[in-house]
Amino acid sequence: GATLLGSTNPFDYPIDSVVKWKSLIYSIEQKNVGITGRGMIDGRGFRTAMNSLNMVYRGLIKDELLNDRVREPKRPENLYFYKCDHIIIKGITLKNSASWNQTYNQCSNLLVDHISVDNKSYWNNDGIDIVDSKHVVIRDSYFDAADDVLCLKSFDTTKMCEDVLIEHCVARSSANALKFGTGSRGGFKDITVRNLTVYDTYRSAIALEAVDGGIVENILIDSVRAINTGNIIFLRIGNRNSQGRTPSMKNITIENVYAEVAFKKPDAGYRYEGPVEDLPRNISPCSIAGLPQYKIKNVLLKNIEIVYPGGGNPNYAYAGLSPKDLDSIPEMPAAYPEFSQFKELPAWGFFIRHAEDIHFNNVTVRAKRKDYRPAIVMDDVNGIDFKNVKILEPNAGHKKQIFSYKSQNVKGN
């Protein structure tokens, strides 16, 4: 197939007056559109980004810069579809954008099928961004990106991502493989993800976030294999940009998962590795972390096995189990959400705080080496049951592996 090369001259990309963003290809308020075939779109983003930065320093482009980078909207994506209906993206390869890669904003009836993404040319290189869109199918595709890969966002308080199916995909990321957020103003509802393979991913395999006043509701994640990742599951309610609205997360099912957490940096050697941060901390557990006034509700974890490296060393970082220690773990409601944001946590398998109706069914967590922490810690949980939960840790002795604090209606194990 043919290759379409993006210009490396930033002035060849005017900021669109409607979407307020730069892109190589736009489609705005169109129906029955798409890009198909076996060709490639190569944005040549590294050179474009460097040229943009050079022009800022020369005073030819105005930008405040963030972390010595031109901000994302002033760097071109490869594709931007806005308020389009009946879209087909099939068979193509997308690579080397200067910013995000492909955005579908307030679109409907979108099919992304058998595409390949290689997007590690610069910072903020996402795989695909679905923004406030409905009736979306992403299937049989491969993604390798420097930033979040399968990323659903919500920027409009009156809209949300709804009726989305992601299936039979492979994801590699120097951030998160599957992420809802960070932008989460309207929210995410009725979404299914199945048969997802994740590897060499720096942050979380699964990150669901409601931090801007939106909802995360009716989510099914089924059949995930994640190897060499920094974290597996991160569920988070925050209060970053809620502006008086009430964030919520409920009715989440994650099932049929096999995962291995890395001891070393999972994305070492890739271009634009994720930054080392939130140290000191030992290996972080999965987290289900709401806020005192906004609980995460009705989560089912079923048929899950997670292998951790273990080896948590209290001389490097320590989080105890006393009331003082547990109460000192910061809430961080307005912080940017990441699995590592709390630094050291008092569990090596799961940390659950400010939650209701949490269900563990046939879940195994295994540490390869002894860890000073228990496997599971609950703080302010109302209603949690453990059915056929196995905790395997060498040389653990008689250590209590499930620890409950300020929690009630704890059943099983």
**pLDDT, tens only, 296-336:** 999 999 999 999 999 999 999 999 999 999 999 999 999 99
Is residue 24 included in any domain, yes or no?
no
Q: Which two tokens stand for residue 95?
A: 């690579």
| 278 Cβ contact list (under 8 Å, min separation 6) | 338, 340, 341, 342, 343
% the chain with pLDDT above 90: 97
Of the CA atoms within 13 Å of residue 36, those in its CB half-sphere come to 9
| 54 Cβ contact list (under 8 Å, min separation 6) | none
Residue 284 carries which DSSP code?
P
Let me know how many helices (H) and strands (E) the chain has, helices first: 2, 25
187-216 pLDDT, tens digit each? 999 999 999 999 999 999 999 999 999 999
Is residue 350 included in any domain, yes or no?
yes
Is residue 116 included in any domain, yes or no?
no
334 touches 314 (CB < 8 A): no
48-94 pLDDT, tens digit each? 999 999 999 999 999 999 889 999 999 999 999 999 999 999 999 99
pLDDT class of 244 with cuts at 50, 70, 90: confident
pLDDT of residue 1: 86
Alpha carbon distance 161, 138 (integer Å): 13
Q: Which of 251, 169, 172, 171 is nearest to 210 (CA)?
A: 251
271 pLDDT more than 80: yes
pLDDT class of 242 with cuts at 50, 70, 90: confident
| 195 Cβ contact list (under 8 Å, min separation 6) | 167, 168, 169, 222, 223
379 pLDDT more than 90: yes
Q: Which domain holds residue 158?
A: 126-411
DSSP reduced 3-state for 286:
strand
304 touches 273 (CB < 8 A): no
Give the mean pLDDT of 106-117: 99
Which amino acid, 141? S
133-144 pLDDT, tens digit each? 999 999 999 999
260 touches 283 (CB < 8 A): no
366 pLDDT more than 80: yes
pLDDT of residue 243: 85
Is residue 62 included in any domain, yes or no?
no
Q: To the nearest whole number, what is the mean pLDDT of the chain?
A: 98
Beta strands per DSSP E along 114-186: 116-119, 128-131, 134-139, 142-145, 150-154, 161-173, 178-184
392-404 pLDDT, tens digit each? 999 999 999 999 9
Is residue 340 included in any domain, yes or no?
yes
Give the mean pLDDT of 139-153: 99
Give the mean pLDDT of 354-366: 99
Is residue 330 included in any domain, yes or no?
yes
pTM above 0.95, yes or no: yes
pLDDT of residue 54: 96
The alpha-helical segments, DSSP class H, found in 293-403 are: 323-327
413 pLDDT more than 80: no
% the chain with pLDDT above 70: 100
Is residue 3 included in any domain, yes or no?
no
The domain tally of the chain equals 1
Is residue 7 included in any domain, yes or no?
no
